[in-house]
Structure 1
Amino acid sequence: MSTTLSPDGQAILLLTAPLMAGRMELSADLLTLGEYGCLAVFLHEVQRGPGDLLTVDADSLIRQCQEIVDGDRLRQLLGRGFLLSQAVDRWQARAIWVVTSADTSYPQRLKERLKDNAPAVLYGCGDATILETGGLAVVGSRNATPALQTYTEHIGQLAAHAQQTVVSGGARGIDQASMRGALEAGGTAVGMFADSLEQAALYREYRSPLMEGRLVLVSPYDPMAGFNVGNAMQRNKLIYALADAALVISSDYQKGGTWAGAVEQLTKLRLVPVFVRSCGDIGKGIQELQNMGALPWPNPSNPAELVRTLRLEQDPTTTTHNEEVVPTHAHQSMAEPPIAMQTKPAPTKRRARPAKPAGIIAEPTLFDSTPEAITPKKRAATAHKKTEGKTDGEEGEADHADD
């Protein structure tokens, strides 16, 4: 990812980004996503771009924009050039890149699926090309039981062996379990953070996969931004938009980010098929999501089956989440989650990466049965030490939303 900002990129950051370099409070009266969208449409209609607001003759253009955004407000925001340079220096020192909707490197999946709701700015650390690979979105509560976390790790391992990216929210609990399972098995992962991206980029467990090009951490919010409930809710759609299908491991009923994000997908956005866990005690939240049209997770037992599951919406003979589905209590008869993946990975168009062994699993599964051992494979460059997201010199981890 290039660290050079185009004039359009600079203008978008000045108009919409808080630029928190060395400070935690928000600065100036930033344009909302809707306000910037209206401004961008107007600029396009007059055959101009955001970068034209930074030229020497920008005053006349700003006057033309007066009916869209107050001219004095635009001038105040565009006058934050020194603050922008400080922020860019800070991001570059921490290997954080920034891309705006005006850049060709902006993820096409977000533009095509979210259109006007795509964030104007994305911050990230790691290989940005992973954002275009699709894969499986895995979401659930951060207050998950150890059994559910183990179950989720197995899902991440299977995705890795199928060479399918795991997309999640980076919060502790289900999110981190899915990413951990994928990364420790040599796969790729996307962490879509709602806050504290700068801190997350320093986690020891992420260091090796970031350097190896198997992980990208990304956020639509300033890298220094703290937790905000609204931000946590809004970023849910980005997780779904980057994936080919989604799996809800656990959810409270009518509350929490996981519930809100899944309901939004099932009733409004309908970007991808939404599956729900079909094994064990699924709880009222999962059952109600299934009643809304979510599909019971078919518990694929090998990489090829997982790939077919993720391509569900491309199969005209298969009922999708947009069609009426008769709810079933599938958890009473579904098989256990896969934990033995001895089959070779399914072919993929993405660049091949050597798979790391997930190790011999001796822990009980969600159903207290004895899992089979995963066949060891040749180990990639660096082994990953299992941590709880700690940075150097820290003993705790960032507390994220209940997703």
Structure 2
Amino acid sequence: METNELKFNILRLLETKGIGFAKFWTIWNAFKDDIDLDAIFKGQQEIKKYLNNEGYSDWQSNEKVVSEKWDKLLDKNVQVIFFEDDIYPQKLVSRLKKKAPPILLAFGNLNLLSKTSVGFCGSREASGKGLETAYDCAEQLSRDGINIVSGYAHGVDMTTHRAALESGGTTTLVLAEGILNFKIKKELLSIWDWDRVLVLSEFLPGLPWSVRNAMQRNGVICALSEAVILIEAKSRGGSIEAGKTCLGMNLPLFAPVYEGMPESAVGNRELLNQGAYPIYKSQKTSKANLDKIFHIFDSDSSASSIVPSSKSLKNNQISFLD
């Protein structure tokens, strides 16, 4: 089966009622070594045992509808990245396992998929201090050649994308909707550069935004990143769940600490108690001290080596007081 035909049939399967990522992986693992994979994807009986009657009927009849969506993807030059493609980031599979998206839909610079990255998650309603801190951290990382990954929502996400582009860096926008719904938001329009941007979606092409999608998309942000910075997470919601997801993947999670943090941002404190590392302000530069984050990109360092000592905190760092 030709690669594009295989990708089209995978999209067909994902568009079938009752098929999520976990069910897809079950079906794929059952048939991936079959010599006559083409016959299976053309609706033969082998696939029926994995679908209920409604799902099987949908699978048999959805080819035309999915073909129209496929044509739209091609017309808009959307890149369809199959998980067996060389460019597909295998850390998604290793970190997300059965929650890993079988295909990614993308606009922009695909080379950013393999670039060293730091993810940002945080409140849509972050305080001015929180947004200032998010911008500072993203700007410093960008100027050091690190790609910024975030979710293209208002607040912290948009601030970090903007910081990356304004500082000449790169950024990956992980959508919580289908890629056919993507539009460049006015906050970024004047600084947009397709050579330095990757727009990525794990969802079906026409799927609308939803809270559920946003929660799921945070897992991809974490899995694409070598570390994650969390800004003003509440006790419940997507940001704190992203932090827990990050810790669950054994990825370094960082949470800035500063005076005047809103009372609603109790999620940061909870995650600091669960293993996140604090970020303090450098007395020398009056910017966030990101030495511990830069240190993890040293091939000789390990996650355990980034724990700050009490002496370094006392002598080199202070809280954000202003």
Same fold (TM over 0.5): yes
User: Residue 295 of structure 2 corresponds to which residue in structure 1?
Assistant: 309
2:320 corresponds to 1:334: no
The one of the two structures with greater contact order (alpha-carbon pairs below 8 A, sep at least 6) is 1
User: Residue 8 of structure 2 corresponds to which residue in structure 1?
Assistant: 10
Query: Which structure's residues are more often helix, by fraction?
Result: 2
Deviations 1:8-53 (A, max 9, x none): 2111100103xxxxxxxxxx5141111111100100354554x443
Deviations 1:172-223 (A, max 9, x none): 0001101111111100001111126444433355557664410111111234
User: Residue 238 of structure 1 corresponds to which residue in structure 2?
Assistant: 220
Letter in 2 for 1:274: L
User: Residue 117 of structure 1 corresponds to which residue in structure 2?
Assistant: 99
Letter in 1 for 2:259: G
Q: Which moved more, 1:199-208 or 1:114-123?
A: 199-208
Q: Distance in 2 between matches of 1:88 and 1:317?
A: 42
Q: Distance in 2 between matches of 1:95 and 1:101?
A: 19
The answer on whether the counterparts of 1:135 and 1:245 sit within 8 Å (CA) in structure 2 is yes
Letter in 2 for 1:278: V
Shift of 1:125: 1.5
The answer on whether the counterparts of 1:14 and 1:81 sit within 8 Å (CA) in structure 2 is yes
Letter in 1 for 2:252: P
SS in 1 for 2:199: strand
Q: Distance in 2 between matches of 1:331 and 1:30?
A: 55
Q: Distance in 1 between matches of 2:314 and 2:230?
A: 14
User: Residue 149 of structure 1 corresponds to which residue in structure 2?
Assistant: 131
Letter in 1 for 2:249: L
The answer on whether the counterparts of 2:142 and 2:167 sit within 8 Å (CA) in structure 1 is yes
1:273 is matched with which residue: 231, 248, 252?
252
Query: Which structure's residues are more often strand, by fraction?
Result: 2
- TM (norm. structure 1) is 0.68
User: Residue 53 of structure 1 corresponds to which residue in structure 2?
Assistant: 40
Q: Distance in 2 between matches of 1:48 and 1:133?
A: 37
Letter in 1 for 2:40: L
2:179 corresponds to 1:179: no
The answer on whether the counterparts of 2:229 and 2:253 sit within 8 Å (CA) in structure 1 is yes
Shift of 1:118: 0.7
User: Residue 264 of structure 1 corresponds to which residue in structure 2?
Assistant: 245
The answer on whether the counterparts of 2:147 and 2:171 sit within 8 Å (CA) in structure 1 is yes
Gaps of 5+ in 1: 18-27, 337-365, 369-403
Flag the 1:79–1:248 CA change in 2: closer, same or farther, 3 A: same
Deviations 1:267-308 (A, max 9, x none): x332x1111112334443211111101111255769994763
Q: Distance in 1 between matches of 2:46 and 2:33?
A: 12
Q: Distance in 1 between matches of 2:74 and 2:186?
A: 19
The answer on whether the counterparts of 2:234 and 2:266 sit within 8 Å (CA) in structure 1 is yes
2:25 corresponds to 1:44: no
Letter in 2 for 1:269: M
Gaps of 5+ in 2: none
Among all aligned residue pairs of Structure 1 and Structure 2, give the percentage whose two residues are the same amino acid: 21
Q: Distance in 1 between matches of 2:59 and 2:216?
A: 24
Number of aligned pairs?
313
Flag the 1:7–1:209 CA change in 2: closer, same or farther, 3 A: farther
Q: Distance in 1 between matches of 2:233 and 2:148?
A: 19
The answer on whether the counterparts of 1:65 and 1:71 sit within 8 Å (CA) in structure 2 is no
2:232 corresponds to 1:250: yes
Shift of 1:333: 8.2
Superposed CA RMSD? 3.4
Flag the 1:110–1:292 CA change in 2: closer, same or farther, 3 A: same
Q: Which moved more, 1:63-72 or 1:88-97?
A: 63-72
The answer on whether the counterparts of 2:255 and 2:268 sit within 8 Å (CA) in structure 1 is yes
Q: Distance in 2 between matches of 1:240 and 1:367?
A: 29
Q: Distance in 2 between matches of 1:331 and 1:276?
A: 18
Letter in 1 for 2:45: R
Shift of 1:144: 1.0
1:191 is matched with which residue: 168, 173, 181?
173
- TM (norm. structure 2) is 0.83
2:75 corresponds to 1:97: no
